[in-house]
Structure 1
């Protein structure tokens, strides 16, 4: 279900996510691996197909755990963006009608435990009406499988904290969409390693 409150701590990983972290498994991921999230459904939606049907971008962030165990980390530290799924042209979002978003963990991501956050935004013009679809996974990032790339730490200009806020121009909300390639995604620049 959509989330609206950009000032709530739940905008980090979704409603009540920090309360369920201890009960969630941590996935092993190698830097350089392609991973992804698939669309779930709410109780009010039909069973099939599960598609992103709102107009808007998708973004993916990592936040290295400041706790010894990521299951105890609430995401209140720094986040850096590792993937952006924007418009394919001036009238179509690349996420529209997709079953999820795939992306690559940068090769130079430092090993350690992270929260991996995916968001899809249904961009809307009036402030406070943009819909956030958010989920997180707990991952343990291991060095690349080929072992050839050294770890780099993202510098401060790539960092952001949640909660935060955003607004979009009215023309990007009206249907049919126009001038989407002018959209500037929220948050910091994309960190590629």
Structure 2
């Protein structure tokens, strides 16, 4: 039997077809476009829309509908501690393979920052209480930005300190770390951004 050898040109042609970049094999939806490449990079929010538009004839409103209404696509932290847009059926796979271990490391880092910033001498239990309160506030509101939650959970407005004593010294609200932390732990998901689809500030 003759062996068919795939050369570089054929390999590239197959990838173009499989990744829905061929004019003859366009995806029928944002979800189908994402599935064709497994997940979509999302550190820059615009990248998701450009990646899908390259593969499917859809509008930003169609993509937003799948992301925030149907929830067939979910924005989450994954490989390399980077944001991705993931087909819903792959969320538990990505979470188990990547996000769970990242969440454990980041929680330890956050506990250390809470202690070093003088917020609490028992940072582990403090963070557990703050996370639980933040989660309850999100459940009560349905969705929220960090600035919204500080009205319900005032401790989230406490400040973390960075680079103390250096010219790079800065502060950040602990709430801006708590919400991403509980998202990494799979307890909440990112919602609509503030403003338009090019914004990276998510509810």
TM value normalised by structure 2: 0.21
Give the number of the structure whose residues are more often strand, by fraction.
1
Greater RCO between the two (CA within 8 Å, min separation 6)? 1
Give the number of the structure whose residues are more often helix, by fraction.
2
Greater C-alpha radius of gyration: 2
